[in-house]
A and B are shown apart, each in its own frame.
Chain A
């Protein structure tokens, strides 16, 4: 597709369930980012991939959060044993260049996760 695609669009999980969120970046984009956006807040960085390598995972809030991009294209963000504080919109972004310093990010529409 032409843009970054995320699925599912909405996800409701009971506390303690595991969830998996998918991101299809723009074809050929080297860099892929995951951000978490809580209600009323700006996006907060979670993790960064350059191709299949996870170069920065400093923003992952706990070891319940895990991300992968095994073939350097599609990425999955997994959250184990979800907690209510995990409720947020999870945004994926990609870029044709490495890093995010000097290249604009192209964002998907996000996955809204609600943990009940």
Chain B
């Protein structure tokens, strides 16, 4: 069973427009949630993480994400997208139910049109 679902394979937005990337996880009473970004030929860079506390977390590059336990979701948002945000974005989940590892979604490719 897939533990992390990113329903959108590709998303295209205009530069300056807002962005929301969706992420749902299957289970976990207290999941640890992450968003990573990967540019072509590069490793993964951490954008933000949620462990506990305030459900709205701020990250680097102007990104934020909101944890909604009732929906098992951790969607990534940005109010105004820049051309340099074009990349692939991965949601990941960890915690006791996932053992010693982070489990990643399949990723969402973001294209930015000028």
Residue A65 is within 8 A (CB to CB) of chain B in the complex = no
A102 touching B43, Cβ below 8 Å: no
B102 touching A45, Cβ below 8 Å: yes
Give chain A nearest CB distance to B9 CB in angstroms.
Answer: 8
Q: Interface size for chain A: under 10, 10 to 19, 20 to 34, or 35 or more residues? A: 20 to 34
The answer to whether A102 and B94 touch (CB under 8 A), given A48-B101, A59-B101, is: yes
Give chain A nearest CB distance to B113 CB in angstroms.
Answer: 21
* Residues B47-67 near A (CB distance < 8 A): 49, 51
In the complex, what distance in Å separates the CA atom of A57 from the CA atom of B95? 18
Q: Which residues of B contact A104 (CB under 8 A)?
A: 34, 46, 49
Residue A25 is within 8 A (CB to CB) of chain B in the complex = no
Chain A residue with Cβ nearest B31: A101
CB contacts between A and B, total, < 8 Å:
66
Q: Which residues of B contact A99 (CB under 8 A)?
A: 94, 100
Residues of B in contact with A (beta carbons under 8 Å apart):
4, 6, 32, 34, 36, 41-46, 49, 51, 90, 94-96, 98-107
Contact sample, A vs B, 13 pairs, CB 8 Å cutoff:
A4-B43, A40-B106, A40-B107, A42-B90, A42-B107, A43-B90, A56-B101, A99-B100, A100-B100, A102-B95, A105-B44, A108-B43, A109-B43
4 tightest A-B CB contacts, nearest first: A107-B43, A42-B104, A45-B101, A107-B44
Residues of A in contact with B (beta carbons under 8 Å apart):
4, 33, 35, 40-45, 48, 55-56, 58-59, 91, 93, 99-102, 104-110
